[in-house]
Structure 1
Amino acid sequence: MIRAAVPDDAEEIARVHVTAWSETYRGLLADDVIDSYTVARRRERWERILTQEAPGAATFVAEADGQIIGFASTLPQRNPDMRPVAEGEIAALYLLSSYHRQGFGTALWHACLTELRRMGWGRATFEVHRGNAAAIAFYDAQGAEFHMPADADHLIYTVAL
C-alpha cells in the first residue's frame, strides 16, 4: 500500500532510510560515511520535513504488514541550472532490500510521477549514484533517461511526466 506520509511516520521513515541507505551504499561509499547515518539524526530531519513540507513537496510511504518498508519524496526543482530542463525533482526513493522486485518501488515511483503531474510539471530530474546498478536498471525500465553527470559519483536522469 502506498500513502502520503504524515508527521507520525518520521521514526519509521528514518529507520527505513538508514537501513536502505546502508544496504544500497555499503561498498560504494566509505564505511564511516555509511555509519554516520543514524536513526536519531534522520528522525530529526524527517520530523522537520514532514511538519514543514515546502509548497510543491510531497512524501509517500510504502507499507507491508503494517510497517513502512520504503518511501519517496518529490519537490520543486532545487538546482537552478536544471530548472530549464525540469520543474520537478524526485529527491529520494528508498526501499528495504527484502522488498525489492515486488512492485513497491514501482508503486512509489508512480506516486511521485502522479504528484509531479498534479503540480502541472512536464519533466522531473533525480540523481543516482553511478555505482548503483540496480537503481539505474530500475530507472531505465521506468523510461527515465540519462541526462548528464552531476559530479564524479552521481548521474542526473530526467523523466517525462
Structure 2
Amino acid sequence: MTTDRPWQITELRAEHCHSLAECHIGCWREAYRGLIPDHVLDAFDIERRAEQWERIQAAVQKPAVILVALVDDIVVGFAGIRALDEAPEDRELNAMYVRSAWYGTGLAHELMRELLDVHRNTTLWVFEENPRARAFYRKYGFELDGARRAERFSPSIEVRMLRPADAAPAR
C-alpha cells in the first residue's frame, strides 16, 4: 500500500534514540512553556536524554511498545504504551508527542490508531491546564476519571483520563 504521507511509523530502535531525544525535548519546550518553569525546560540536555532513551529502548518488553514517526531519519513524533503494574490487562498511554510543525497533519491520529486496543481499558495522565491535549484525547474516547497528582518537574497538576474498553474509535 502506498501513501502520500511523508512520515513512516516504526517501533523504536537504537539508531532512533538521539533523534528521539531531540524530538522529546523539542515537544516539551513547544507544548509546556507556561506549564513547566522555563529553567526546567531550558535545562534539558539532549545527550543525557538520548542515553535515557537508549536504556529505555533496550529494556522495552512486550506488551509495551514505543513507536516513532520518522521523516527521512528524523523523529517528528512518538508514542508509547505499557501494561499497568496493578492491572496488566489494562494499558497506560505514557507518551504521545508530535512536533508542533506536524500538528493537524494526521500524524498524531495515526500514532493513536496504531497503539490503542479497543478491547482494553487505557489510561493516561495529562496536565490539568492543557485544554488542547485534553480535547485531543477526548476525541479518542478518553474522559477524566477524577484522579489527580502533582507533576514531578513543576507545581502543575496532572489529571488522569480513562478510555474504557470498546469505546468508539476516533475517525
Q: What range describes the TM-score normalised by the shorter chain of this pair?
A: 0.7 to 0.9
Structure with max Cα Rg:
2
Q: What is the CA-CA distance between 1:139 and the residue it aligns to?
A: 0.6
The residue aligned with 1:12 is: 19
The residue aligned with 1:101 is: 104
TM-score by structure 2 length? Answer: 0.81
| RMSD over aligned Cα atoms | 1.9
Matched residue type, 1:130: E
CA distance in 1, matches of 2:123, 2:100: 23
CA distance in 2, matches of 1:36, 1:57: 29
CA distance in 1, matches of 2:19, 2:31: 18
The residue aligned with 1:61 is: 68
Which residue of 104, 113, 116 corresponds with 1:113?
116
Q: What is the CA-CA distance between 1:38 and the residue it aligns to?
A: 1.7
Aligned-residue sequence identity (percent) comes to 29
Give structure 1 stretches of 5+ with no counterpart.
none
Q: What is the CA-CA distance between 1:36 and the residue it aligns to?
A: 2.6
Which residue of 78, 89, 93 corresponds with 2:92?
89
4+ long deviations beyond 3 Å:
none
Q: Can you list the C-alpha shifts for 1:10-55, whole angstroms capped at 9, x where unaligned? A: 0011000000011111111111221232211210110011112134
Q: Can you list the C-alpha shifts for 1:68-114, whole angstroms capped at 9, x where unaligned? A: 10000111114x3xx39x72111100110010011001111111114
The residue aligned with 1:155 is: 159
Verify: 1:52 aligned to 2:92, yes or no. no
Give structure 2 stretches of 5+ with no counterpart.
1-7, 151-156, 166-171
TM-score by structure 1 length? Answer: 0.86
CA distance in 2, matches of 1:130, 1:36: 23
Which structure is higher in helix share? 1
The residue aligned with 2:133 is: 135
